[in-house]
Structure 1
Amino acid sequence: MPVLDFNHAAGRLPGPVACALGLILLLLLLVLVPLYQHLNQQNQVLQQQWLARQSASRSAPVVQLAPISPALQAELTQAQAQIATPWLPLLHDLERAQQAELYWMQLAPDAKRKLVRMTVLAHKRQQGWALVERLRQQASLAAVKLNSSESTEVNGERMTSLQLEAAWQF
């Protein structure tokens, strides 16, 4: 009988790098499994607490409020009207009328009467009059008027203080 010769390569053991990598992965697995179990238990406890709070909030008694007096209702309506005032478009229109040489010192809006009072400092009186004209050109402002102007000295410079008033239309 002829001898059979198997032509196969001899097996090799893994090298030291592969063994070290395998050991590191095994140790990491042994550390992460208990950590995962601990986090899973904490998650279950938190979910139970959340469900308990949800059921408690659903079964909370409904509080009955006393009826609102007419005076309080009027105050609430007035406060809502002030909140609903479109301040941003008004301020945007005032900024469009602004000029580099003008200094706004005071801006006092009155939501009840829909008026805004302004105090402006200008180097020259003509700049203040030009501001009045620019404010009159704004679509949201009406009845722009110059209440008073006076010459003052600010930081050693001669300036004109202007008192303006305008009504807004919104």
Structure 2
Amino acid sequence: MRRLSFNHAQGQVPGPGTLLAGLLLLLVAGVLLAVYNQLAADNAALQQQVQARQAMIAPAGAAPDKVALASKQASSAELAQAQAQIQTPWLPLLNTLEKVQQPQLYWMQLAPDAKRKHIRMTVLAPHRKQGWALVERLKQQPGLADVKLNTSESTDVNGVIMTTLQLEAGWRY
């Protein structure tokens, strides 16, 4: 069996410049650690002073907190009332509109008004008859009431003449 011979260079002891640089870096790290510890202690003392001052001010500020709490409760009650009035039954409304959808019709706008239970729609149709058929299909839907065609006009959309329909309907959800 052959003997393996590793050809490697012998290690050398670092020179005095490298040793001096290492010791200098170690000394700087120690100084930075001492400065960090001093800053952390000063920060803790300042936080205690701030908490003590806030504790002295807190009894005098107790009355405005009650007023602020009352105003927050009043605004949250108003917000809850507004949310109850604004709630729109999106799922049943969109399901009803999907039932009457045709591939050539393009829904451009749906604007519901939850207070009046009313929706305004803008639809693009390639032919006027398709728009009128949409109105008839909407009138047959049990979830919609008072379906009206407000306006019907021809519109140029990218060089194609389309019919723009403005519709209104009420919902029963």
TM-score range, shorter chain: 0.5 to 0.7
**Long gaps (5+) in structure 1:** 1-13, 67-74
Q: By how many angstroms is 1:154 displaced?
A: 2.5
CA distance in 1, matches of 2:41, 2:140: 69
The aligned counterpart of 2:161 is 158
The aligned counterpart of 2:33 is 32
The aligned counterpart of 2:10 is none
CA deviations 1:35-73 (Å, max 9, x no partner) are 33123312431343245336644652133979xxxxxxx
The aligned counterpart of 1:102 is 106
What one-letter code is carried by the residue in structure 2 that aligns with 1:49?
Answer: V
Correspondence 1:129-148 to 2 at 5 A: 129-130=133-134, 133=137, 141-143=143-145, 145-148=147-150
Q: What is the root-mean-square deviation of aligned Cα atoms in Å?
A: 4.3
Change (3 A) 1:99 1:150: same
The answer to whether the Cα contact below 8 Å between 1:90 and 1:168 also exists between their aligned partners in 2 is: no
Change (3 A) 1:45 1:130: same
What one-letter code is carried by the residue in structure 2 that aligns with 1:53?
Answer: Q
2:67 counterpart SS class: coil
CA distance in 1, matches of 2:115, 2:50: 50
**How many corresponding residue pairs?**
145
What one-letter code is carried by the residue in structure 1 that aligns with 2:168?
Answer: E
Q: By how many angstroms is 1:121 displaced?
A: 2.0
The answer to whether the Cα contact below 8 Å between 1:136 and 1:143 also exists between their aligned partners in 2 is: no
CA distance in 2, matches of 1:48, 1:102: 66
The answer to whether the Cα contact below 8 Å between 1:107 and 1:119 also exists between their aligned partners in 2 is: yes
The answer to whether the Cα contact below 8 Å between 1:150 and 1:161 also exists between their aligned partners in 2 is: yes
The answer to whether the Cα contact below 8 Å between 1:102 and 1:127 also exists between their aligned partners in 2 is: no
CA distance in 1, matches of 2:97, 2:26: 66
CA distance in 2, matches of 1:77, 1:44: 45
Identity %: 34
The match for 2:117 among 110, 114, 126 is 114
